Amino acid sequence: MAYVGHANHLLAALPAYIQQSWLPQLESVQMPLGEVLYESGVALGHVYFPTTAIVSLLYVMEDGASAEIAVVGNEGIVGISLFMGGESTPSRAVVQSAGQGYRLKAQVLKEEFNRAGPVLHLLLRYTQALITQMAQTAVATGIIRSISNCAAGCC
């Protein structure tokens, strides 16, 4: 599984026995620009491990407007809501930069996560990093809006 591990850092961090058990179930996928990996509110059938692609996570508001809340590349996984207690997500995942990745059936990931072993610990650490990225994005967006409002003469 060396080729998978070198391509996605999260997969590379898994113990060898888990890598070996997932190898036959990891599906190599093309991720073309603009492809929607999942929509807000739709049940997740797979999780994605980008290798050369970059995926934007967008928060979708009730009026249909969206805002980018995070970006996932070869360091991570797309579909964290699956193992954080939800079958669907309030966000949309869209390929921002075309490339490749791997996908894994949701059930495979959930079963390994629920064993409360190394996959659980690794994914929780990754989720903490992703939440930090989301918080930084929210702060930066607020600062940019404040500057824009001041530039428009509204402050």
**Per-residue DSSP letters for 11-56?**
HHTS-HHHHHHHGGG-EEEEE-TT-EEE-TTPPP-EEEEESS-EEE
Give 1's pLDDT tier (boundaries 50, 70, 90): very low
**pLDDT of res. 81:** 82
Angle between helices 106-113 and 118-151 (to 10 degrees): 110
* 3-state per-residue secondary structure call for 104-126: EEHHHHHHHHCCCCHHHHHHHHH
What is the side-by-side order of every strand in the sheet holding 27-31?
27-31, 99-105, 46-50
Q: What is the pLDDT of residues 68-115, one digit of tens each?
A: 888 999 999 999 888 877 777 778 999 999 999 999 999 999 999 999
d(C-alpha 65, C-alpha 69), whole Å: 13
- In 3D space, the residue among 38, 130, 138, 32 whose CA is nearest the CA of residue 87 turns out to be 38
Residue 2: pLDDT over 90: no
The reported pTM is 0.81
* 76: DSSP letter: -
CA distances from 41 to 8, 46, 79, 113, 118 (A): 27, 14, 12, 22, 29
- Beta-bridged to residue 59, according to DSSP, are 67, 91
H helix and E strand count, the chain: 5, 7
Q: What is the pLDDT of residues 115-139, one digit of tens each?
A: 988 999 898 888 888 788 877 766 6
The pLDDT mean for the chain works out to: 84
